Structure 1
Amino acid sequence: MTAANRPPQPARRPASRPPRCSELPELDLRVWHDSSSRPQFAEQLSDIAHRSGFCYLTGHGITQQRSTKLLGLARRFFALPEEQRLAVEHINSPHFRGYTPAGRELTSGRMDWREPFDIGRERPALPLRPGDPSWRRLTGPNQWPAELPELRPAMLELLEELQGIGSTLLSALAVGLDMHEDLFTEWFGHQAHTRLKLLHYPSRPLPDHEQGAGTHKDYGFLSMVIQDSQGGLQIADEQAGWIDVTPRSGRLVVNLGEMLALYRRRALAKDVGVSPDGTGPRPARPQTAGRAVIGGASGMRRRRLTHV
C-alpha cells in the first residue's frame, strides 16, 4: 500500500496508563440517535476504546424477551442428537460454517471445551480460480439442521440486526477518533464478513479442566455478545487481574478487537476467557444446556471463558 492510498490515521492521544477497571462501563445507544448528544456518546465510546475496550450496551432494540427466545433456540440446536448436529459439521463446509464438537479447538495448546455453531451472511459461493485469494472462500451458504427449520430465519435476522448495531457503533467510534463518520462504513459496506457464533459450554470433561475457551483476543473490529444468566465471560485488566463480566438483563456486551487496534496502532484489545460448568473461572460467548450464549460480529480484547 502506497502513501497515496493508505487510509487516514486518527490523531494520537498522549500515552497514559489505563486506570484500574473493576466493572464494565455502560452506554445507551439511544444517546447516539439523539443528534444533540452524539458528541457525548462518541467521546464516551472513544474513552472506552482507550481503556477497557469493553462495555455494556443498552438501547440497541433487542429486548430481553427476544434474547431469551434466541438463547432457547440455541439450546434446542445443541440438544439435538449428535448425528443430527454432525450432519452440519464445520468440516463439511468450504466456507467455515457449521457445528464443531467439543474438544476440537485449542487455545494456547490446551483444549477448549465448547461446541460452536458458526453462521455467516447467506450468499452464493464465489467462483474460485487458480491464483485467486483464499479469502474468496469465506463467501458462501450456511449449513442448517433440517430438524430445526426455525433456526435459519431467526439467526439470519439477528445477524443482520447485529450488523446494523455494529455499523452504528463504528460510526460513533470514528467520530470519537476525530475521523469522518462514514469511515468504517465505507470500508465494510454490504460485503462485510459478519459472523454469528452460537456457543454451548458442556459440563467439564475432567474435574480439573476449567478451560471453556482459553485466554485469547478476538481478531476482528467489533464483537457483541448476548449472555445467558449463568455467565462465565472474564476479561483481563493489567492491574485488577481477571474481571467477571456479569450478565445484565437487556444488555449486549461489546468488545473492540485486534483489527481495530492495528488500525489505531494502540492496544485497544483486552484478554478474555470462559469456564464450563460452575466451579472455576470461565470461557466466553454463547452458551446453552450448561449454558447458551450468542455472539455476533467480530473482534475482542483478551478474554477467556472458564467453567462455572
Structure 2
Amino acid sequence: MTDFAVPAVDISAYVDPDGSPEARRAAARAFDEAAATVGFVQVLGHGVPTAVTGAFADALDSFFDLPLEAKKVYRTPPEINRGYSPPKTESLSLSLGLAPSNRMHDFFEAFNVGAAHTDYPGVELPTTDYPENVWPEEAGGFREAVSAYFDEAGRVARTLTTLFADALGLPAGFFERYTDHSLDVLRMNNYALPPGEVALDGDLTGMGEHTDYGIVTVLWADQVRGLQVLGRDGGWHDVMPADGALLINLGDLMARWTNERWMSTLHRVKPPIVAGRIERRRSAAFFHDGNIDAVIETLPTCVGADGTSAYPPITVGGHIRAKLAGSRAGVANTEAEREAARVLAARSA
C-alpha cells in the first residue's frame, strides 16, 4: 500500500478566462482519472492568494485560542449548522449509521459559517437550512478574513463544477441550475487544545470515518499528519496537501449523479500524539452542497448498461438533513448502506 498517491491537477486553464481549450481538456481528463480512481485530488493553479489564506489561518488561531467557555457562547442547536462545536459533541461516523452506542466522541472543535437565506434575495428558503451566521466578537478581524476565504473557496468550487461538466461530457453550465442557491458551508476545525480540557481516552478519534455529503469539498489544511483516505485497496492512507495545493474530494451527491463513476471518498482524521499531547492541526472544509430543493438522480450518461442506477432520486435537503442528524444530533443515518459497507470491509481487512 506504499504506492498510494493523491494525483495533482492544475486547473489554471479554468481559472484564467483565456485558458486554452486544449489545456482545459487536459485538466478535465486528469481530474476524471483521479476522481474515478483515488477520489482525492491535489488542485494547483486555483488562484487563491496566499495573503487570503495567511490571514485566514491567523483568524482560525484568533478564535480557537480563546478560552473554551468564551467559544461555547457561540454554540448553536444541532439542527443549525452554524457556530461553534466543542470537542466530543459530534460523531461523523453516525452520518453513515456507524458509531459505538451512538457515542458523540470525535475529538475536534469546529466553527461553521455558511450561505444565509439573505444571500439569495428573491428566493424563499427555510431559515433552518440557511440560517444567519454568528460571528465571534472577541476574535479581531475574524469575520473579514473568514469571509474573504469563504468567497475564494466558493469560487474554486464553482470553477470545479465547470470542469466537472466538461469531464462528464455534459453541456456547459449544467450544474448551475442545481447550485444557484447552494447550501454552502465552511467548517473550520482545530485538533489541539490546552492540557486538561479533554481527556485523551481510549482509541482517539479526531474525526470519524465519513463521506462528505454534497457535491464537492474544497479543503485547506496544515501540512500535519492526521487526514487518512480509504483507498480502493481497502487500506487507510495518510494524505497531506502539497505546497500551495488545495485538497479536493467529491461528496455523496456527485457519487449519485455519476452512479459511482466518481466515488464519494471515505476519510477520517487521526491526529498525531506527540509526548502525550495532540500535535496541532488546523483544517477548513468548504462544502458546496447544491440547492436544497434540487433533485439529484443519476445522469443519463452514467446509468448501467441495463439502464439502472445504484441510487434512487433524492433531494439535496433530504440527504443533507439525514447526514447532519447523524453527525450533530446523534441520530444514526439508516440511508447510507453502501458507504457504511465500505467502512466495515476496511475494518475487517
TM-score of the superposed pair, with normalisation by structure 2: 0.70
State the aligned residue count: 269
| CA 244–64 in structure 1, closer or farther in 2 if over 3 Å, else same | farther
Counterpart position of 1:15: none
One-letter amino acid of the counterpart of residue 255, structure 1: N
- Per-residue deviation at 1:293? 1.2
Task: Report the aligned-residue RMSD.
Answer: 2.9
In structure 2, what residue type is equivalent to 1:296? Answer: F
In structure 2, the CA distance between the partners of 1:211 and 1:217, relative to structure 1 (3 Å rule), is same
1:290 corresponds to: 280
Distance 2:58 2:119 in 1: 30
Residue 230 of structure 1: aligned partner: 224
C-alpha displacement of 1:50 = 1.4
CA distance in 2, matches of 1:38, 1:124: 35
Match for residue 215 of structure 1 among 196, 204, 209:
209
For 1:24, the equivalent position in structure 2 comes to 6
Amino acid corresponding to residue 235 of structure 1 in structure 2 = V
Asked whether the 8 Å contact 1:63–1:250 carries over to 2, the reply is: no
**What displacement does 1:240 show?**
6.0
Paired residue type of 2:90: E
Equivalent-residue separation in structure 2 for 1:46 and 1:20 (angstroms): 23
Q: Which residue is 1:61 aligned to?
A: 47
How far has the Cα of 1:61 moved from its partner? 1.7
User: Normalising to structure 1: TM-score of the pair?
Assistant: 0.78
Q: Give the distance between the partners of 1:221 and 1:117, measured in 2 at CA.
A: 21
Matches within 5 A, 1:6-155: 22-32=4-14, 33=16, 34-36=19-21, 37-64=23-50, 66-91=52-77, 95-106=80-91, 107=93, 108-109=98-99, 110=103, 111-124=105-118, 136-155=127-146
- Structure 1 residue aligned with 2:271: 276
Task: Name the CA distance, whole Å, in 2 between partners of 1:20 and 1:185.
Answer: 39
Which residue does 1:12 correspond to in 2?
none
1:289 & 1:24 partners in 2: Cα distance?
23
Q: CA deviation at 1:225?
A: 0.8
Counterpart amino acid of residue 151 in structure 2: E
Matched, 1:162 2:153: yes
- CA–CA distance in 2 between the matches of 1:26 and 1:51? 13
Match of residue 202 from structure 1: 192
1:273 is paired with a residue of what secondary structure?
A: strand
Q: Does 1:179 align with 2:175?
A: no
Code of the residue aligned with 1:228 in structure 2: it is D
- Structure 2: how far apart are the matches of 1:238 and 1:95? 34
Structure 1 residue 261, shift from structure 2 partner: 0.5
* SS of residue paired to 1:137: coil
How much has 1:201 moved relative to structure 2?
A: 1.1
Structure 2: gaps spanning 5 or more residues: 290-338, 344-349
Q: Equivalents in 1 of 2:37, 2:148: separation in Å?
A: 32
For the Cα contact (< 8 Å) 1:42–1:175, is it kept in 2? yes
Q: 1:100, 1:119 → 2: CA distance? A: 12
Deviations 1:244-296 (A, max 9, x none): 112322110000111111111115111101013436xxxxxxxx982211111
- Larger % of helix: which? 2
Structure 1 segments of 4 or more deviating over 3 A? Answer: 63-66, 122-126
Cα distance in structure 2, aligned partners of 1:207 and 1:96: 27
CA distance in 2, matches of 1:278, 1:229: 15
Q: Is the 8 A contact 1:195 1:297 kept in 2?
A: yes
The residue type paired with residue 10 of structure 2 is D
